[in-house]
């Protein structure tokens, strides 16, 4: 039997457990900070209401990954899922992605339509894929601000994108961000259906405890579990320190931050964290039908609110919402989309032994990656062994 170390018990780490046990021949050690696996995707209950740490719907354009997860965990399609944005200067909620049918309601409609009429069609009419974005446009815009102005014009950029992005990434100038075509949700300006991603499968677990059974079964399959962290991996090796002791493995699959497992090897990477406040309201629904969460694009300190019963189909006369605030230092959640930091991350990758693999948003330092991507990456890793 060979020995595998899996770092992190989120959905990627748990998928690695399933697949290694499926192919056989591996003793699996899993290290995770909590005895309960799943991280921010794990369902918890507040006053009886199920919730995760922010919205965790399963969104994909990869049908094979959808089929894989659905074979382990019954999924319920929610392709009617809509997004809305509050534009404080208009005192109005509008669809997001920005919808052509909403523009006549905007007080500066004429200016917006004039701006749209002169946009380059390759930006204005582009269709973006969930994780890939639109690679052909990467080199045709210089930064996040330039990309969005070329896509929707300066007025809509100011209404919907500018301040929200500054809040989301805690930057004063959006030109700092130079990785950007991940940001539209399918299209920059939408016509037709109002669902956020009608070109993708949008789903959520049917069970009231969400993904938890997937995590709990993985915990049962593990041969050796450590509640804690991997203190370090020796560069160029498969030797990891856990509880102060070194152990050599035949395989490492990592889903944790690279600057955590190679501490002090290079400059630290940068991440945006989240503070989430939960509130129970004395109403059956806080948001309109089919709207699961709302963005706030102005000077409000929070970036969005989420109504969890929409995901869970939870029946209650009350509803649970959360408010999200961006911050730094309370966790490594969102890699900052700046190419110089991505290059620094590439130097971390160079420290890895050939049989040390990395998967997911944090380990690969790429905000584009979501639940479906980390599952797909782990499936490919195990298939290559």
Q: Mean per-residue pLDDT for 140-158?
A: 97
Q: Would you state the structure tokens that stand for residue 148, as one six-digit string?
A: 């969005």
Question: Which of the four pLDDT bands, split at 50, 70 and 90, describes residue 198?
Answer: confident
The pLDDT score that the predictor gives to residue 46 is 97
* Residue predicted with more confidence, 180 or 197: 180
Model confidence band, residue 95 (pLDDT cutoffs 50, 70, 90)? very high
242 vs 80: which has the higher pLDDT? 242
Run of H or E residues at 241: strand 239-242
Could you give the CA distance from residue 156 to residue 116 in angstroms, rounded to a whole number? 9
Q: What is the pLDDT of residue 53?
A: 92
pLDDT at 326: 97
Q: Which two tokens stand for residue 249?
A: 């493995």
Could you tell me the pLDDT band of residue 330, with boundaries at 50, 70 and 90? confident
User: For residues 336 and 338, what is the distance between their CA atoms, to the nearest angstrom?
Assistant: 6
Domains recognised in the chain with CATH numbers: 2-42+211-266+336-383 (3.50.50.60), 82-203+272-327 (3.90.660)
For the cut 90, the answer to whether the pLDDT of residue 224 exceeds it is yes
CB atoms within 10 A of CB 278: 16
Alpha-carbon separation of residue 302 from 9, 172, 183, 306 (angstroms): 29, 16, 19, 11
- pLDDT value for 196: 83
Q: What is the pLDDT of the chain when averaged over all its residues?
A: 96
- Is pLDDT of 195 > 90? no
CA 24 and chain centroid, separation: 31
Is the pLDDT at 149 greater than 90? The verdict is yes
pLDDT band at 199 (very low <50, low <70, confident <90, very high): confident
Segment 205-212 mean pLDDT: 97
**pLDDT for residue 318 is more than 90:** yes
User: 212-221 and 63-72 are packed helices; what angle lies between their axes, rounded to 10 degrees?
Assistant: 70
Long-range contacts of 313-318 (CB under 8 A, 24+ apart): 313/76, 314/49, 314/50, 314/208, 316/48, 316/49, 316/284, 317/282, 317/284, 318/47, 318/49, 318/280, 318/281, 318/282, 318/283, 318/284
Using one digit for the tens of pLDDT, what is the confidence trace for 335-377? Answer: 999 999 999 999 999 999 999 999 999 999 999 999 999 999 9
| Confidence at residue 329, expressed as pLDDT on a 0 to 100 scale | 86
Question: How far apart are the C-alpha atoms of 54 and 288, rounded to whole Å?
Answer: 19
């Amino acid at each position: 039997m060979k020995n595998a170390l899996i770092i992190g018990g989120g959905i990627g780490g748990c998928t690695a457990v399933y697949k290694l046990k499926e192919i056989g021949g591996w003793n699996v050690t899993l290290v995770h900070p909590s005895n309960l696996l799943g991280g921010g995707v794990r369902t918890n209950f507040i006053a009886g209401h199920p919730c995760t740490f922010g919205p965790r719907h399963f969104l994909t354009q990869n049908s094979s990954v959808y089929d894989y997860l659905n074979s382990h965990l019954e999924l319920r399609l929610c392709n009617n899922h809509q997004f809305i944005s509050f534009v404080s200067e208009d005192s109005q909620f509008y669809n997001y992605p920005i919808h052509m049918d909403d523009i006549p309601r905007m007080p500066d409609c004429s200016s917006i339509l004039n701006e749209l009429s002169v946009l380059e069609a390759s930006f204005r009419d582009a269709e973006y894929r969930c994780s890939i974005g639109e690679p052909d446009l990467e080199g045709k815009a210089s930064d996040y601000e330039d990309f969005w102005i070329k896509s929707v014009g300066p007025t809509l950029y100011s209404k919907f994108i500018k301040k929200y992005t500054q809040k989301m990434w805690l930057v004063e100038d959006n030109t700092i961000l130079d990785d950007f075509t991940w940001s539209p949700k399918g299209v920059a300006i939408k016509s037709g259906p109002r669902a956020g991603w009608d070109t993708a499968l949008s789903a959520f677990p049917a069970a009231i405890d969400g993904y938890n059974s997937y995590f709990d079964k993985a915990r049962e399959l593990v041969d050796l579990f450590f509640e804690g962290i991997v203190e370090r991996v020796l560069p160029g090796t498969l030797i990891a320190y856990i509880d102060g002791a070194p152990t050599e493995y035949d395989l490492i699959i990592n889903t944790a931050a690279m600057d955590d497992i190679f501490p002090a090897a290079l400059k630290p990477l940068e991440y945006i964290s989240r503070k989430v406040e939960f509130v129970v309201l004395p109403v059956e629904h806080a948001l309109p039908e089919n709207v699961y969460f709302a963005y706030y694009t102005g000077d409000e300190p929070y970036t969005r609110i989420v109504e969890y019963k929409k995901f869970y189909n939870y029946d209650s006369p009350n509803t649970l919402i959360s408010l999200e605030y961006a911050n730094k230092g309370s966790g490594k959640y969102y890699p900052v989309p700046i190419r110089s930091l991505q290059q620094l991350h590439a130097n971390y990758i160079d420290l890895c032994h050939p049989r040390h693999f990395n998967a997911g948003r944090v380990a690969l330092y790429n905000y584009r990656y979501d639940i479906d991507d980390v599952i797909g990456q782990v499936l490919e890793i195990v298939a290559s062994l």
